[in-house]
Structure 1
Amino acid sequence: MPPTPDAEAPGAAVPDRGRADACPGALRLHTADDGGLARVRLPGGLLTDHQALALAEAAEALGDGGLETTSRGNVQLRGLSPDCGAELADRLRAVGLLPSDTHERVRNIVASPLAGLGATGGADVQAWARDLDERLCASGWATGLSGKFLFALDDGRGDVAALDADVTLIAGRGGPAVLRLGRAADGHPVEPGREVAAVLDAARAFLDALRSSGRRAWHLREVPELLAPGTVPLPAVAGAAPAVGALPGGLSVGMRFGRASAAQWRALVAASAGELRLTPWRGAVLPGAAADRLPALAAAGFRTEPGSAWERATACTGLPGCARSLADVRSDAALALEADAALAPEADAAVMPEAGAGGLPVHWSGCERRCGHPAGRWVDVLATGRGYRVTVNGPAATAGVPVDVRNEEMAAAVAGARRTTK
């Protein structure tokens, strides 16, 4: 995984970043144990069929043949050779996936993946995402943002608003949109027609405040004294990922640990109706795709049935891809998740309301950096070198007591933690 995770323990001191972040991009590759890693930003998670196929071809020709989706709806290619950077960039430019060499790492934009596909939700946030991307790339000042700075555009259903982005725009229901700065408890009303401009203004004000104060920071939440207090309450934020299967207006599928082979990627394209939307929950929404495509997607290895232990289960790269990791966490996690259904399936009826199908989100980490962990309340499964430490993580008031387990005990410990009611 990349060398600069965005993980802060509850109650931790606000960091003062003394250096630029080392977040990888499409032009600046990260050297991992399994080769180079490139991260391709996809604002709003949007891909045309042509672009998706180009990524599959690049993964096969230049990398290990696989593609990874990230917690920001981006795509990573792994196992890249040290001298492939120029060819990768040419391939991305040719299909419109590298519109700006200078701004490519700051194009971190998530958007409600189900926008426009059903009765829920309001504004066309996918159009906002395209507009925001174009304006970012045209703004010289935006290169000062960290490669970790995140914009979230929520259509009013409260899904991506729960990701605690640096700047979140939530479409109004019968009223103006609301702008949330960092993790503020309140928001600011936005004049209709100025939604994208307000998002850019907030990001620029953050950079201006940093320059005037002499601070260095990657996120708005790291300098709370610079944030103007909100004036209106935030709407309800459910934070629910799209259910897998047939949905009004399309299909939704999940990828195990967000990874798919090039062949699986092509199966996605074959089932699509011309567009893919990658989600921050490591899945894909296919607008307009027919339900009769689901059997083929299931046969290709995608999750198409809701309610399994694999719902909202994630893991870092682990061994052998990351030298910092203390375990092959994905293999260990897969064994635990396969065993979960046999442990206590009846317990699912008693999960806490915010947990959803399968219980709380769970994330396996190979080291203390916890790369890629979810926001909110989640089960932290940390490799210790002797097994794993399982903790219900989140705000201090709801954090659980850590439990150290051996590998053979992990499945039961994780299943119990995911179904906790306290």
Structure 2
Amino acid sequence: MLAAMPDSAPSPLSPGGPAPRDGGDACPGTLRLHRADDGALARVRIPGGVLGVDGADALLAAADRFGDGELHLTSRGNVQLRGLDAECGGGLAELLAAAGLLPSVAHERARNIVASPLAGLDGSPALGEHLAELDRLVCASPAAARLSGRFLFALDAGHGDVDALGADVTLIADGDGFLLRIGAGDAVFRVPAGAGPRAALSAAEAFLRAARDSGAWRVSDLPEDVRAELAGAVAASAGPAVHRPRPRTATPPAPGPHGSGTPAGPAPAAPAADGTAAPAPRGPVTAISVHVPLGRLTPAQWRLLTTTARRHGGELRLTPWRGIVVPGPFPGAGAADALRALGAAGLIASPDSPWTGVGACIGRPGCAKSLADVRAQAGAAVGPVGRLPVYWSGCERRCGHPHGEWIDVVATPDGHRISHVRGERRDPPRTVRADPEARAAAVAAARA
């Protein structure tokens, strides 16, 4: 039975290292709603971000019937519905279950799985069967129902894109098998392809046993001595570890901010094994990618995306960078035409959009803890595309912040604190008072 590897690196936002959990896991789901200032909030898990058009229609119907009509993408490729009536849970669950989006009531918050959005579309290995098997195994495991809503699985097609997200259990496609990474450590274990999903579930179940006394929600929360014991258990069952450093940022193979994952535009081909850029693909474009400004989709934008998907591959892939990949094929000028229409609808359809790499939490007025309307402030500060992504937070919790290297802008009682985060390190911050022009200039300089 596989167990967890050590992960002693402190969080970039918690310099002292893992913090004990002194309360229950209040992470929202479809059945457990979160009360916000703009109404109740539901988070619908979409494993791997893979969503058929019928499921997409059901989500829009739920947003229209029970919420504010809009759909909000999360940093794990899930969908949030906001502005809900706190008593709508039964009707919401019934609608989503009928659409196949709620296969297990007991496991609905445990189905946290991210996957490389371009897997199988850019020359990299397809992950669909492995994703479906992992989701099935999680839903069939009584123990997995106890996983925190924050515990995260990742399936990486070899790009390093979702491996950079620091998931608790990561499978990385490697040759004819997988590399298994537990936590954010640099050690990985070789696993045959057919055994990958079961090995990932076994690792999660081993984590639960290790976390029984500490109450840890994630691998990074485990006490150091427990992580050390689990490292030995993994080595005993899986054999010697292989050293493969975890990517510290997802670097897209096209212009745009580091850490923004899949770039907007036609799907690029996967890089060659030596890291050089792949030649431009011949024939139909296999997929297109768009990003969503601040992760918020209007009903019209969502309908346009689903209509585009129906004309081509019949599927949407929601990304952990608040974007959407639409698999093709797109013959002739189909990709250019689709991107032009999506861009005209307000989506980010090319990497040179000024909105590229700009993110923010919900802020005021949706969140009572927020000190500012950071979405409006982020919009006012949009300028030339920066080298690094920027994320605006209304308070110190930094809900939904990115990973790797990014510019952190946090509203405080004294102004906005701006700092450069580099994985586990952060540069000394600069605080800018209530001056919109100075704030925008400071953010632009930090991103450059």
TM-score normalised by length of structure 2: 0.84
- The residue aligned with 1:294 is 339
In structure 2, the residue matched to 1:59 is: 63
Q: Is the 8 A contact 1:315 1:363 kept in 2?
A: yes
**Cα distance between partner residues in 2 of 1:218 and 1:309:** 37
Matched residues in 2 for 1:46 and 1:197: separation? 20
Asked if the contact 2:176/2:192 (under 8 Å) is kept, the reply is: no
Is 1:244 aligned to 2:264, yes or no? yes
Deviations 1:333-355 (Å, cap 9, x if unpaired)? 01101xx23xxxxxxxxxxxxxx
For 1:328, the equivalent position in structure 2 comes to 373
Report the Cα distance in structure 2 between the residues aligned to 1:206 and 1:96, rounded to whole angstroms. Answer: 29
**C-alpha distance in 2, partners of 1:301/1:378?**
24
> Match for residue 432 of structure 2?
404
Mapped contact 2:403–2:423 kept (Cα < 8 A): no
The offset of 1:300, in angstroms, is 1.3
Query: What are the ranges of 5 or more consecutive residues in structure 1 without an aligned counterpart?
Result: 1-6, 342-356
Q: Distance in 2 between matches of 1:323 and 1:179?
A: 40
- Give how far 1:304 is off: 0.4
Question: Hey, what does 1:142 align to over in structure 2?
Answer: 144
Stretches (4+) displaced over 6 A: none
| Structure 1 stretch displaced more, 53-62 or 225-234 | 225-234
User: Secondary structure in 1 aligned to 2:290?
Assistant: strand
**Equivalences for 1:143-162 in 2 at 5 Å?**
143-162=145-164
Q: Kindly indicate whether the alpha-carbon contact (under 8 Å) linking 2:184 and 2:246 is maintained by their aligned counterparts in 1.
A: no
Specify the SS of the correspondent of 2:263: coil
- CA displacement 1:6-35 (0-9 Å, x = unmatched): x76252232122332100000010000000
Tell me the amino acid that sits aligned with residue 345 of structure 2: A
Within 5 A, what are the aligned runs for 1:7-406?
A: 9-119=13-123, 121-122=124-125, 124-172=126-174, 174=175, 176-211=177-212, 214-223=213-222, 224-225=224-225, 226=227, 227-228=230-231, 231-234=241-244, 237=247, 239-240=250-251, 241-247=261-267, 248-272=285-309, 273=312, 274-288=314-328, 289=330, 290-291=334-335, 292-337=337-382, 340-341=383-384, 358-395=386-423, 399-406=427-434
Question: Aligned with 1:321: secondary structure?
Answer: coil
Give the C-alpha shift of residue 316 in structure 1: 0.5
Q: When the two structures are aligned, how many residues end up with a matched partner?
A: 392
- Displacement of 1:186 in angstroms is 1.6
Q: CA RMSD in A?
A: 1.8
SS class of match (2:289): strand
Aligned equivalents of 2:83, 2:41: Cα separation in 1: 7
Structure 2 Cα separation of the partners of residues 331 and 236 of structure 1: 35
Percent of paired sites with the same residue: 50
Equivalent residue, structure 1, for 2:254: none
> 2: distance between equivalents of 1:201 and 1:90?
31
Task: Return the alpha-carbon distance in structure 2 between the equivalents of residues 109 and 50 of structure 1.
Answer: 20
Shift of the 418–400 alpha-carbon distance from structure 1 to 2, 3 Å rule, reads farther
Contact 2:164–2:246, Cα closer than 8 Å, also in 1:
no
